[in-house]
Chain A
Amino acid sequence: MRLRRYVLFRVLQLVPVALVVIVLNFLLIHLAPGDVAILLAGEDADPTYMASVRAAYGLDLPFHEQLLRYLGQVLTGDLGLSYRSRQPVMDELMARVPATLMLVGTALVIAVTVGVLVGTLIARRPGSAVDSVVSVLSISLFSIPVFWLGLMLILWFAVHLRWLPSSGMGSVGGPREGMAMVMDVARHMILPAVTLATVWVGQYVRLARTSVSEVLAENYIVTARAVGYGEGTVLLSHALRNALLPVVTVLGLQIGLALTGAVLTETVFSWPGLGRLIYEAILARDTPIIMGAFIIMSFTVALASLATDLLYAALDPRVSL
């Protein structure tokens, strides 16, 4: 029961975020130079379509009624129509979610696993030469512009060595089912996933390093050593769970940045996900898609922060629900 109330409470806290995002969206489009109808319907739209957009958004109504109407629309999942395809923005976005999810998920798993592993090992010797070198290296990694790294990997592994495909999610005329297809997709995913993971891993190395070494200074670790546990047990079963708490927090807070990286990486590798869709929308000046993407991304970030809180509560018994 307490859990349900807590979840409800946290979901209610998302309401202001949603409102700010939607109102911001609304204000921006009205502040933008040019006719709102043209922004939403496209410059060379036929008059009937233009009229239907005007009607749908209530553009002839007073300002505050437009806002209310817009709020209602967005909250019911109506993000308007893409003017390129004339398909609902929501459907267009949702169709691209699986590809992005697969790429971001894979890269995050790699980055977090490798990062926590390396960070934990380094944490055993804070202040050592290895610690300093790894620390500088990690900072350098997250200072790399992700799209540039993507290009460099293409240059080396696809152009120079010809080991891996440089773009898309599957080979043209390649296998369309079974293991063969899975392998083909996996081959295409290697470079984009490695690109993202490389840029992200430094962050997790540093987080895990700081967090584990802080925990190793705690008294309960001294207790564990005094009780006679080996150093491996102390690290893995007594320290890591405590040390993961800040990693989880940051993981949740960084989803926005992670999605940014995904958009840029998908653009480089022509990965058919949300990022690619946004890029295409920018090229075509498809404003409804860009607005919809902003709303969806903001909601995703907000939900991720909620998920983080819940995960944190599950990991730390001191957080009372």
Chain B
Amino acid sequence: MNRARVEVVVRHLIRNPVTVVAGLVVLAAVVIAAAVPWLALPDPEAMDFVPYSPPSAEHWFGTDNYGRDLFSRILWGTRVALVVAIGSSALSTLLGIVLGSLSGYHGGLSDAIMSRTFDVFLLIPTFFLVLLIVALFGASLGLTMVAIAMTTWPRSARIMRSQVLTLKTRTYVQAALAAGASAPQVLMRHVVPNGLAPIVTDGTILMGLAILTEAGLSFLGLGDQNTVSWGRMIFEGQRHLRLAPWMSIFPGLSMLLLVGALNLLGDGLNHALNPQLRTRGGAPRHVPPVPPPADEPTVEDPAAPMLDVRGLRLVYRIGRREIRAVDGVSFVLPRGGSLGIVGESGCGKSSLGAALLQVIPANAELTAGEVRFGGRAILLGGRPVAERGRRPRIRDLRWARFSIIFQSAMNALNPVFTVRRQLVSAYRRHRPDATPEAAAARVFEVFDLIGIPRQRIDSYPHELSGGMRQRVMIALALLLEPDMVIADEPTTALDVLIQDQILGEIDALRRRLGVTLILISHDMGTVAETCDRVAVMYAGQIVEIAPTATIFERPAHPYTRALIGALPSLTGARRALASLPGEPFVAAGDVAGCRFAPRCGHATDLCRATTPPSVAVAPDHASLCHFADAMVAAPLPEATA
């Protein structure tokens, strides 16, 4: 880990109050363990006091059956607990790091044998081995620690092995080896530090486990007789449970506190190292729907455009950051029309698709915008429109009227169900009266239409080829004869031949069935073939929208020009892609000026200072650029190369 990464992790750690408290508890335990001989405490073994005294001002935790001061004994017990914790986890981790590194570094047969050995040792139940060892060899703290280490080392060995396996192919490790460093040196300097973080995390949890194991042994009477351990105190306390419950209560509480703190610390470390653990997934938040507007049609208007979107905004909340993935998008899509939405990954095009269908992740929120489907409002002010009462209108539209084709390579189909189960239940979800047989018949109909062999219905998604899986996704989207389909990167991750086939099929189906289509893609070429209009998206906004031919012939935005430049030509020699320097812009916080300006070759001070207006360069052609008119007029240097 480099310094910057360490800083990020530390910042995450100290921001979590639970982790901080847990850390302080562990720290306090360490201080107590170190300082206990110098504290003015009664001798923990001295039987100087009245036996069975309940907790009092003099004896905070009372005294035991021999008249020993429990508070003193518990503080001394911290020592034993920490020695066991640190001793066993250090031993275990050291063993694990050495054996894991060797196994991963050498690879081949020795790796195979060693990782099988890890597995075997992981299966040996720690406690019972410790029990046996202690029963045979006599109770001693040292043996207990060795026995704990013996059954837990494969945990860190496994982590280390996989770290070494991934790291040894990295360039800097290769470079160090090429420069003549010896293998152990390279392992120590470059590989071990990188694997350390997860091992430290596991180590804190191991410490808790070690304390509990030692306590369990002591409770069975197999504890080291020469030490003051919390487990042994509870062992002694249970015989006097009725008479002196404090003899059991306080040592147990101390143990709970320390083990809990260690586990919470481990958990905090884990989350600081993998911050995405905490907030991934979740169910979408419920947004109360708004009543339908009184002055608008309650039924669909066949003359109205299929989709009318105005000022749609979607923000993601990541920690305290707000990212405006869709930032004021408006367009109108006529019935039977097809619109291509193009942009780099991260420009918000997929978020736009999800927003239209109102299936957004839990950490996203629609903050503004109106969407009308067939003239009927389904979203107003960023909130769903209810039909009567509380049921959002979109619910009746989803899939039956308005469906989406996801990129199937990205697990868009549930891996644990067969195609039949997924398609039949989707059909019956919207046609509750249909029998499973009728639903399957409809599935076959769509299969025939798309060219999926019927026997594929009983396959699991992973049993299908990429192209076939994508076709199943298309079949799912067309199952209920929707009026409108969004295809979100339907051909990404497929090989070129299949890409063309699938696109051709989507295009043919669209024309045959009269479906209105939105095709989302990062590739200008893809939308050029299929769509009659193209919208180019950048940083959450549509920066240019025009009929397809216009956008290729007279692009009015420098970003569009860059995208077209990035289009490989089929005629001339394959040109070097006009790659864009710089990172895509992310809209967070206040934005002044043009979002594309930092990467734009034509940017002026005006661009950097003032947000560009939407310029209508033609009745059907708008561009978000100060110099749109000049752009249209400028010749395309490489357009027909």
Contacts and interface: CB of A to CB of B under 8 A. Distances in A.
Contacts of B575: none
Interface string B235-265: 0011001100100110110011001101110
B241 A282 contact: no
B132 A28 contact: yes
A297 B260 contact: no
B416 A21 contact: no
Interface stretch (A108-116, A124-132, A182-190): A124-132
Nearest to B211: A145
B103 to A, nearest CB: 16
A76 interface: no
B124 to A, nearest CB: 6
Interface stretch (B272-280, B336-344, B603-611): B272-280
B413 A290 contact: no
A260 interface: yes
Contacts of A63: none
Interface residues of A, number: 87
Interface string A190-223: 0000000000000000000010111111111011
Contacts of A16: 116, 120
A32 B121 CA distance: 21
Contacts of B128: 256, 259-260, 293-294, 297-298
B385 interface: no
Contacts of B398: 226-228
Contacts of A95: none
Contact of B220 (A144, A210, A264): A264
Interface in B208-246: 208, 212-213, 215-216, 219-222, 231, 234, 237-238, 241-242, 245
Interface centre among A145, A155, A263 (most CB of B within 10 A): A145
Given A213-B282, A316-B416, A317-B415, A155 B125 contact: no
Interface stretch (B354-362, B372-380, B586-594): B354-362
Contacts of A31: 136-137
B281 A123 contact: yes
Interface residues of B, number: 82
Nearest to B278: A127
B454 interface: no
Contacts, number: 241
Given A135-B267, A238-B414, A291-B132, A145 B256 contact: yes
B135 interface: yes
Contacts of B357: 226
Contacts of B221: 282-283
Interface string A224-238: 111111010011001
Contact of B238 (A29, A222, A256, A268): A268
Contacts of B277: 210
Given A151-B238, A260-B127, A283-B221, A145 B255 contact: yes
B414 A220 contact: yes
B133 A148 contact: no
Contact of B359 (A39, A135, A226, A257): A226
A264 to B, nearest CB: 5
A32 B251 CA distance: 32
Interface in A130-170: 132, 135-136, 139-140, 142-149, 151-152, 154-155, 159
Contacts of A75: none
A24 interface: yes
The B interface is mostly helix, strand or loop, or mixed, namely helix
Contact of B283 (A20, A124, A147): A124
Given A139-B263, A228-B400, A282-B221, A213 B280 contact: yes
Interface string B281-304: 111100000000000000000000
B404 interface: yes
A308 B129 CA distance: 23
B378 to A, nearest CB: 14
A149 B238 CA distance: 12
B124 A21 contact: yes
Interface string A278-321: 11001101010011011001100110010000000001111000
Contact of A241 (B18, B135, B260, B416): B416
B148 to A, nearest CB: 12
Contacts of B220: 263-264, 267, 279, 282
Contacts of B222: 282
Contact of B411 (A139, A148, A218, A260): A218
B216 A223 contact: no
A227 B208 contact: no
A97 interface: no
Interface in A257-275: 257, 259-260, 263-264, 267-268
Given A143-B212, A226-B399, 16 more contacts: A32-B137, A125-B283, A127-B279, A135-B267, A147-B219, A151-B241, A155-B248, A212-B281, A218-B411, A220-B412, A226-B359, A228-B398, A278-B131, A282-B221, A291-B132, A318-B416
Interface of A: 16-17, 20-21, 24-25, 28-29, 31-33, 39, 123-127, 132, 135-136, 139-140, 142-149, 151-152, 154-155, 159, 210, 212-220, 222-229, 231, 234-235, 238, 241-242, 253, 256-257, 259-260, 263-264, 267-268, 278-279, 282-283, 285, 287, 290-291, 293-294, 297-298, 301-302, 305, 315-318
22 contacts: A20-B124, A29-B136, A32-B137, A132-B18, A139-B264, A143-B256, A145-B255, A146-B216, A147-B234, A212-B281, A215-B281, A217-B361, A226-B399, A228-B429, A229-B429, A242-B416, A260-B216, A268-B238, A282-B135, A298-B128, A317-B415, A317-B416
**The 3 nearest A-B residue pairs measured at CB:** A148-B252, A256-B125, A217-B281
